[in-house]
Structure 1
């Protein structure tokens, strides 16, 4: 009997030992820390030996730099989109350009030496811009000379950490050496070791694990028990960077501007009679300058007598520059895109304008470059890069002379190529042409400037342009619309007196339209053509001025002198003096 018991005991013990072994192995497999190392190149998405992924603001990104001849470069498009969109590339000339408030700095592709319009030059010791596989790259260190950001580059494997914003972040200290893992869990692969005393950035705290950034830019997870001294800290911007100061020249009060369509030097002689019934005007903008060829030359109608008369009547002269009045630009020989794409043409244009300013004592330049047809296609394809670079460079010349620079642009409607935010920085005034809501060639009849069109134009522009620089343009003209029985839409435009005469002679009953805040009238001609009028008058102008006042606009600009009736001026003067 005893001999039978012993084998049973042995079997039971063996079962317990084996069970314990399996249980121990199970527990070990479940709770022990994995030593498996993650592949760092795969983690960062490194594509080749010169590829350098960028960790931006403690987040993995799609951005990649390139290591070329020991220098770190980013694509030109990434530089513009992420770091500094004031960099400009002149593709025709192969030059990288940067403008400050007072100088234009230029460097050629593959060149190590910059040149500035202030007469200085600098040997960088590296190429500021290079092409690699047909892609333009800009040296990050060169960008950093003009931009508020910092970066740290690491090797083995290549990657960069970069900060462009300096707010606050939560940091913690590692209280005991451990591992940073790809995911939260002891079985997750190891990214990198963390040593006692290392400082990590705390991104997200979970129940047992926290998502952190290691000192060398790995983003992963560490157990909460290894974290201590958690605190929020302020990030310090680089001390070697100073934000450029763009000074502006402003009138003492609101701007009250009217454009004066000259049409030739003889038109200057109409100034005295044209302003005889006005009141409160402090700026007049004659249509004096037009692009005349593709090399940056201008046609000028400026005269000293005009300037003297305007000054004698208490008005500044902001001479307008356009790209549509010269015959070469009517017949298609002239190309605004070609003028703006060339640094030589831009310089000739700017030099010509400033020469006129000095010769006649002109107070300001008003840029009215408009884009339709092929010129619209050009600026859209270019993203407005040549246009805004011209404005930057012109602003430097105007700033140096104390000349007021204003720019006319349409209301925001998908036309971001005007770079409104940059205009709001480099220009003294930005004038939105809050009219031509419906224009010659429109598919349907409608108001030239309904109140919602004006209000939305102002509010949307204020998202980019400071109120003390925003001047709203209003129309002194009305369009009379003719819609035929076959649906063909035509229109005629004219001044307020002309419109009132048409209304009177045709016996049109005009009624206030609350939706547009204009008087509206319609009648049908004998052939079935429907005639419609949305009238601009003192009352419709008043509603626009009310919206401008509520939004704190810097003033008003009107197109054009001679189209108004005399009762308009007291209404505008009251707004300006308010």
Structure 2
């Protein structure tokens, strides 16, 4: 006989709690046993001091910090965000035993990055420009986070996919010749997303491939969880079949979105989401399906819908990561996160 609705909800909640307890009851590391350095994190330039202090607080677990410092503006031009290349921060992270691998992102006009990648001369110029950037500082490598090509249409898709793979292979080889790390940040590959990335080729070229495991529901779409265990299972089942698990880092969200129908979606860090929930006097609620925190509140005669991630939500994802042999994680972003996230990541 089918379960009544209330019974199904209670059963779903019980299953979620049981899975969480299985994760959390594992014995903690002994007091004299160091936490594993299996975590990396992006350092946002708009919260540089707070994120830097956060990194130092958790240096025992961090192996790499990627300051979000640079933007590729053209084949021969890399622009720095405020604070880019600050020696005090580079030296401080190194002194804490943390590698510094800054991120280069891009927000070029549609088609501009594809034009650079598919032109061998422009591609070579861009690689040289990136190498000059790395050589000009005491960086340990570079993280390439190029996302505008992800929406390439069917006609150009095969050529752009192959061109990005060639770019990655050539750049990584030259970085390795300099003794530097090559990190590639990509979007998840599922049945309907991420086809622009040639996962096997990128896995062969890079030291690390970071998968951005967030924005299952995103700023421009409908409200919902940023990630779920089921989604992670789909992502990692595909990824580990194409890239060695030891080379993969699963990107975890430390933030959320605050949606409203017909209005602007707001970005919220975990800290901001929890402060908002507390101010509104709303009880903590874990969505039984996604196992992520979620609440609604009223503002200006509208109902706003907040989904975000915290340590409890990530703990529900940990068994999936373990199942696929993923030990390394990366956080978007430092100083956004629930402080209780760190011991959870120590169990991955």
Judge same fold: TM > 0.5, yes or no: yes
1:296 to 76, 85, 95: 76
Q: Which has the higher contact order (CA 8 A, sep 6+)?
A: 2
Asked which structure has the greater CA Rg, the reply is: 1
Unaligned runs of 5+ in 2: 1-35
2:96 to 313, 320, 324: 313
Shift of 1:402: 2.2
Instruction: Name the residue aligned to 2:216.
Output: 437
Shift of 1:333: 8.8
Does residue 285 in structure 1 map to residue 75 in structure 2?
no
Shift of 1:558: 0.6
Instruction: Name the residue aligned to 1:120.
Output: none
Deviations 1:362-405 (A, max 9, x none): 112111000269x6348636341221111111011022122111
2:195 to 411, 416, 421: 416
Instruction: Name the residue aligned to 1:24.
Output: none
Distance 1:399 1:275, change over 3 A: closer
Shift of 1:269: 5.6
Q: Which has the higher helix share?
A: 2
Deviations 1:498-521 (A, max 9, x none): 001111222223322231011232
Does residue 508 in structure 1 map to residue 285 in structure 2?
no
1:471 to 236, 241, 249: 249
Shift of 1:523: 4.3
Instruction: Name the residue aligned to 1:493.
Output: 267
Please report the RMSD computed on the Cα atoms of aligned residues, expressed in angstroms. 2.5
Distance 2:115 2:202 in 1: 21
Contact conserved, 1:445 with 1:489, CA < 8 A, in 2? no
Deviations 1:250-288 (A, max 9, x none): xxx76311001225xxx7666643434435111100122
Does residue 566 in structure 1 map to residue 339 in structure 2?
yes
Displaced runs of 4 or more, over 6 A: none
Distance 1:519 1:272 in 2: 27
**Structure 2 residue matching 1:515: 3-state secondary structure:** coil
For this pair of structures, how many residues does the alignment match? Answer: 306
Shift of 1:322: 0.8
Distance 1:552 1:569, change over 3 A: same
Deviating more after overlay: 510-519 vs 377-386: 377-386
Please give the residue correspondences for 1:117-132 in structure 2 after superposition, counting only pairs within 5 Å: none
Distance 2:314 2:277 in 1: 19
Distance 1:515 1:271, change over 3 A: closer
Distance 1:381 1:466, change over 3 A: closer
Shift of 1:409: 0.9
Unaligned runs of 5+ in 1: 1-252
Please give the residue correspondences for 1:75-114 in structure 2 after superposition, counting only pairs within 5 Å: none
Does residue 322 in structure 1 map to residue 105 in structure 2?
yes
Contact conserved, 1:289 with 1:320, CA < 8 A, in 2? yes
Does residue 539 in structure 1 map to residue 322 in structure 2?
no
TM-score normalized by the length of structure 1 = 0.49
Instruction: Name the residue aligned to 1:154.
Output: none
1:273 to 47, 53, 67: 53
Distance 2:156 2:37 in 1: 32
TM-score normalized by the length of structure 2 = 0.80
Distance 1:379 1:387, change over 3 A: farther
